[in-house]
Chains A and B, each alone.
Chain A
Amino acid sequence: MAQKAKLALYWAASCGGCEIAVVRLYAKILDVAEFFDIVFWPCIMDFKYKDVEALPDKSIDLCLFNGAIRNSEQEYMAHLLREKSKVLVAFGACAHTGGIPGLGNVANRETIFQRVYDETPSTVNADGVRPQLSYQVPEGWLTLPEFYDTVRTLAQVVPVEYFVPGCPPVKEQVEAVIQAVVEGNLPAPGSVVGASDKTVCDDCTRIKEDKRIRSIYRPWEVIPDSTRCLLEQGIICAGPATRGGCGGPCPSVNMPCRGCYGPPPNVVDQGGKLLSAVASIIDTQDPAEFGRVADAIPDLLGTCYLFGLPSSLLFRVRQEREALPAKQAVEQSKAV
């Protein structure tokens, strides 16, 4: 019997949804198991990192890597799996463009730790305890990965052959990608697969008439007409600035697209284009009136870069570098 192709799946800074997306292949998962030998999938079974370290380089035929890179462990695994894989795929929005964890780029380690370990209402932490990179216990040294200031996409850390967008990638596209791999039918490396070259507007079946709007509404503020374009009803829908191929499931249930498939092929910065489009269609010449309409958008950065902040041009929020607290600095120097 011919040797089966080797498949690895890993999750970095993510939610687990991409694992579920693969499991959602339902019966087709059996075809996957028939074609591939799963050599590493820590979510499903008790694989160890040393199992991967023991593999020869480039011996994993396909690695579906989901999640963004936000700490040193994830970075280490990105490099390791890159070494050991022939084809490394950034699977899902987090690995592709940063995803929701990417919003961490509005903060940095110190402000996040302050929030988590000091400010949250139910936390009691009078001594200001912070996670340490290493800590000595009677049994030896315990270590934790280093938490970075900035979240990065997979491709910002290691070279990547293919990108499968989506939060998560829809079932039909996961099937299509697996099929393409099995048939050896993949485009040039560097391509986005499992998506179309057009925008979500192309998938969406709502009727488009006139894009000019005079107000902006939050999705919970109005019950939209389910046949008309959501953006035309004043609800900010990222569909025009988002790569399609998902089939437009969100607009089909009265929820605006939030951009999880990332930028269209010809767009350099998804959030910038969405901003430009929204500003352009607010139909007033009066700056005061425009300001009032724009005030209805509570979080412009979050709206524009919900899934793509690390892959955007500005990449992260500009902040003053904080000096590390003295205690942590001392402990770090004792790191193993």
Chain B
Amino acid sequence: MNKNGFEPLILGFACNWCTYAGADLAGTSRIQYPPNIRVIRVMCSGRVDPTFILRAFSRGVDGVLIGGCHPGDCHYIEGNYKARRRMELLRRMLGDFGIEPERLRLEWVSASEGARFAEVVADFTKTIKELGPLKSDATIAVGQQH
């Protein structure tokens, strides 16, 4: 349930060769999507250390979306496979932490998939809106300022 106009804060990681290019294509095609996401560019989805995602959640980011190349198409051959494995294990552990695993999503978006990028962002934003904020008065705090 969208809790009274809650606007989530969403962090995105986009790999330079596929997802970031796809996101740019959405832009050149003027395909509109919700403005909640802020993307950090990395060279490969394999660069994404689970530490980054833990840091994001500990600071109150409501959802994290990682975009990489389709299996078999990774510019660095296998980085996306490693990303997939890490995110699978991380998602399990997030569940242990009482953080809905749906708050972490890994999607494959290629350089030619501008429309798909916009679609994925819109869908993920909707999912996070329905989940509600990660931090609220109703929960005992997760994460803290270090």
Chain A residues at the B interface, C-beta cutoff of 8 Å = 106, 108, 149-150, 156, 267-269, 271-273, 275-276, 278-280, 282, 285, 287, 290-291, 294, 299-301, 304, 312-321
Contacts and interface: CB of A to CB of B under 8 A. Distances in A.
B93 A290 contact: no
B59 to A, nearest CB: 9
A317 B58 CA distance: 11
A176 to B, nearest CB: 28
A319 B142 CA distance: 8
B97 A314 contact: yes
B49 A279 contact: no
Given A285-B78, A318-B99, 16 more contacts: A267-B51, A268-B55, A276-B50, A276-B51, A278-B89, A279-B90, A290-B88, A300-B92, A313-B55, A313-B143, A313-B146, A314-B99, A316-B141, A316-B142, A318-B97, A318-B140
A149 B85 CA distance: 33
Contacts, number: 107
Nearest to A294: B89
A301 B99 CA distance: 12
Interface of B: 49-51, 54-55, 57-58, 71, 78, 81-82, 84-86, 88-90, 92-93, 96-99, 134, 137-144, 146
* Complex A-B, nearest 7 residue pairs according to Cβ-Cβ distance, in ascending order: A318-B98, A301-B96, A318-B142, A313-B54, A313-B58, A279-B89, A272-B51
Contacts of B134: 318
A320 to B, nearest CB: 6
A278 B57 CA distance: 21
Given A269-B51, A314-B58, A321 B85 contact: no
Nearest to B89: A279
Nearest to B140: A319
Contacts of B138: 320-321
A242 to B, nearest CB: 15
A269 B137 CA distance: 26
B72 to A, nearest CB: 9
A273 B90 CA distance: 11
Contacts of A317: 96-98, 142
Contact of B140 (A149, A275, A300, A301): A149
14 contacts: A271-B93, A273-B49, A275-B86, A276-B50, A280-B85, A300-B92, A304-B93, A313-B57, A315-B58, A316-B140, A317-B96, A317-B142, A320-B140, A321-B140
A275 B50 contact: yes
Nearest to A286: B81
A268 B144 contact: no
Contact of A294 (B88, B139, B141): B88
Contacts of B54: 269, 272, 312-314
A276 B86 contact: yes
A319 B96 CA distance: 11
Contacts of B71: 285
A178 B50 CA distance: 38
Contact of A268 (B51, B84, B137): B51
Contacts of A316: 140-142
B51 A313 contact: yes
A297 B63 CA distance: 26
Contacts of A321: 137-140
